[in-house]
Amino acid sequence: MALICGHDAPAYGLPLCEHIRTAATDPLDHYVHYTGRGVERQRICALCRNEAATAVVAAVCETCFDATEGSSLGVLGRPQTLDASRPVRGMVETTQLPAEAGPVLDIAPTEHGFVLLCDDGRILRWDTDSGTCTEAARSTVRVPADTKPWCGREQALRLHASRDGAFAAVVIDYGRTGEVIDLSTGAVTIPLENDGYYSSTVPFSLAFTEHAGRTVVLYRTEWRIIEAADAATGAALTRIPMADPHSDWSGYFHGALHPSPAGTRIASDAWWWHPVGQTFVWTLDRWLTDGESAWTEDTGRWQLPACDYYWNRPVVWLDEDRLVLGGLGDDEEELVPGARVFLLGRGQGESVLKEVAAFGGPDGHFFAADGLLFSSSQAGLEIWDPAGGARLGTLADFRPTHHDRTRGELVELSAIGLRRWSTTHAAR
Ligand SMILES: [Zn+2]
Ligand SMILES: [Zn+2]
C-alpha cells in the first residue's frame, strides 16, 4: 500500500505534519513534538505549534522525508512518564569522612572499603566498618593552571580503583595526563599521557578490569586508541588497531569507558566527525586473550545509535547483555530526558543490536542494581523499571555520585561526608 506521499515504499523517519509534507519550495523548519503517548514523536511546523495535539501527521518515504529536511526549532511536549511510585524504604545514612583526609576530591569504592583522593594529592585507604584510614600513596597529577573549559566541561581530577583496591588511577578528565599507582607500594606503575588530540572533549578514558588472574587497566593513548596493560607491571597486552581493515571502527574519539558488571564487555562513550556521539561496545575476553589480531569482523562489537553533537551521556549496564543510554532523540538540540535499553546479542557469528525499551524521565547519572535502573539528578534519586519504563519511587534529597557494588549501596560524596543508601530497599 502506498504512503501518503504516493510512493510504495517503507515509512521513514518521523511522521510529518501536512505543511511540512507539502511545502512547495523551501523546506519548513520543524519542532519535534512528543505526543505524550509513550515516546511517540512527530515533526510539526510553526503553524501547527499551538494546536500540536490535532496536527495532521503522516509518514512518508525516505526520499520525501529527506526532501523536507529543514532546521530544528526545538522540542514541544515531553514523552510520557509512567508513574508507579511507592514510598521508598530505607534511610540515607551519613558517614563522616576521616578527619585526617581534609577536603576529598573523589572516592572509589572497592571490595575492601573506599579509596580517597585528597586535594593535596594523598591517596588514602579507608575502611568504613573499622574506621581505619591509612595513607597509601601520593599522586602528583595536577590540573594545569591555564586550562580553559570545553563547552562548560572543566578539567578535574578523577579517581579510579581496581575492584580489589590494589591499584588506583588518578587522571584529569577532559585533560591529558594521569598515573596508575600500586597502592601496596605507593609506586607509579604506568604514567599516563594521551596525545591531547581533542582530549578536552571527553573524560580521560580509563577503566580497570580483570583478566587471566591479573588486574588490567584500559586507557586512551591516542584519540582513537585504547590500550590494555598489566596494572602491576605496565606491560602492554593489546590495543585497538590504528587502522581497522574490517570496518571504520578506528575513527572514534574515545570517551568514558564503562565495563559491564562482570567485565565481559566494555562500552566507550565515543564520538566521530562531524561531531556525532556514538557509543560502541566490544568484547573484552577475546581481545585480551588474542591481542590486536582478535579485532576481526567476528569479534563481538556493537555500534549504538548515533546522536548529533551529543556524548558524555548517561551510560550503564543492567547486566552483561543489556546497556542503557540516557537521552531520547538523535540530535543534541532535540534531546529530552529518558532512557533507551539495548540488548547486545550474537547470532550466526554476527553482533545483533536490539532496542528493547525506551521511555521518558530518567536524567543525570545512571546506576543499575538488582535489575533496576536508578537516575541521580536535580530531582534526586529516581528508581525505574527498565522493562516497562515506570518510575517506582523517588528520594528527593539524595543525589548519589558513586555505586558501591560490594556493599550494595549508592553513595553521594558530599561536603558532610558519604551519604549512603542500600539498593536492596528498592527490591520488591
Ligand atoms: Zn504544520
Ligand atoms: Zn515518498
User: pLDDT, tens digit, for every residue of 63-90?
Assistant: 999 999 889 999 999 999 999 999 999 9
- Cα of 38 to ligand 1 centre, how many Å? 22
Q: Is 43 a member of any domain?
A: yes
- Cα of 71 to ligand 1 centre, how many Å? 14
Among the listed residues 281, 278, 273, 337, the one whose alpha carbon sits nearest the alpha carbon of residue 307: 278
Q: Give the number of the ligand closest to the Cα of residue 64.
A: 2
- Cα of 88 to ligand 2 centre, how many Å? 50
- Cα of 48 to ligand 2 centre, how many Å? 22
CA 395 to chain centre: 22
Q: Is 219 a member of any domain?
A: no
What confidence tier does 300 reach under pLDDT thresholds 50, 70, 90?
confident
- Cα of 49 to ligand 2 centre, how many Å? 24
| pLDDT of 15 over the 90 cut | yes
- Cα of 352 to ligand 2 centre, how many Å? 29
- Cα of 206 to ligand 1 centre, how many Å? 47
Q: How many domains does the chain have?
A: 1
Cα-trace Rg, the chain: 23
- Cα of 66 to ligand 2 centre, how many Å? 10
- HSE (side-chain half, CA atoms, 13 Å) at 122: 14
- Cα of 37 to ligand 1 centre, how many Å? 19
- Cα of 6 to ligand 2 centre, how many Å? 6
Q: Is 55 a member of any domain?
A: yes
Dist. CA 291–CA 311, nearest whole Å = 28
Dist. CA 289–CA 381, nearest whole Å = 39
Dist. CA 132–CA 135, nearest whole Å = 10
- Cα of 7 to ligand 2 centre, how many Å? 5
The answer to whether the beta carbons of residues 423 and 119 sit under 8 Å apart is no
- Cα of 18 to ligand 1 centre, how many Å? 6
| pLDDT of 298 over the 80 cut | no
| pLDDT of 314 over the 70 cut | yes
Q: Give per-residue pLDDT as tens, 125-176.
A: 999 889 899 999 999 999 999 888 888 889 999 999 999 999 999 999 999 9
Q: What is the pLDDT of residue 247?
A: 63
Q: What is the pLDDT of residue 122?
A: 98
- Cα of 3 to ligand 2 centre, how many Å? 7
- Cα of 34 to ligand 1 centre, how many Å? 14
Query: Exposed, middle or buried, 131 (CB in 10 Å: 0-12/13-18/19+)?
Result: exposed
Largest CA distance in the chain: 74
Query: Phi, psi (5° rounding) for residue 385?
Result: -85, 110
The answer to whether the beta carbons of residues 351 and 369 sit under 8 Å apart is no
- Least confident range from 27-31, 240-244, 289-293, 305-309: namely 240-244
C-alpha pair distances (Å), 210 with each of 107, 158, 248, 285, 321: 20, 21, 28, 10, 18
- Please enumerate, as own/partner, the contacts of 326-333 that have beta carbons within 8 Å and a separation of 24 or more: 326/362, 326/363, 326/364, 326/366, 326/375, 328/39, 328/79, 328/358, 328/360, 329/32, 329/75, 330/305, 330/306, 331/72, 331/307, 332/307, 332/308, 333/72, 333/74, 333/308, 333/309
Q: Is 42 a member of any domain?
A: yes
Q: Is 270 a member of any domain?
A: no
- Cα of 335 to ligand 1 centre, how many Å? 21
Among the listed residues 97, 100, 91, the one whose alpha carbon sits nearest the alpha carbon of residue 113: 97
- HSE (side-chain half, CA atoms, 13 Å) at 334: 19
Q: Looking up cell 604506568, which residue turns up?
A: 190
Return the C-alpha cell found at 20.
511540512
- Least confident range from 49-53, 56-60, 119-123, 210-214: namely 49-53
Q: Is 265 a member of any domain?
A: no
Dist. CA 55–CA 18, nearest whole Å = 8
What 3-state class would DSSP assign to 200?
helix
Dist. CA 267–CA 248, nearest whole Å = 17
Q: Is 51 a member of any domain?
A: yes
- Cα of 14 to ligand 1 centre, how many Å? 14
Q: Give the number of the ligand closest to the Cα of residue 68.
A: 2
- Cα of 14 to ligand 2 centre, how many Å? 13
Q: What is the pLDDT of residue 346?
A: 87
Length of the chain: 428
- Cα of 60 to ligand 2 centre, how many Å? 5
Q: Give the number of the ligand closest to the Cα of residue 29.
A: 1
pTM above 0.85, yes or no: yes
Q: Is 52 a member of any domain?
A: yes
Q: Which domain holds residue 51?
A: 12-76
Return the C-alpha cell found at 4.
501518503
- Cα of 272 to ligand 1 centre, how many Å? 34
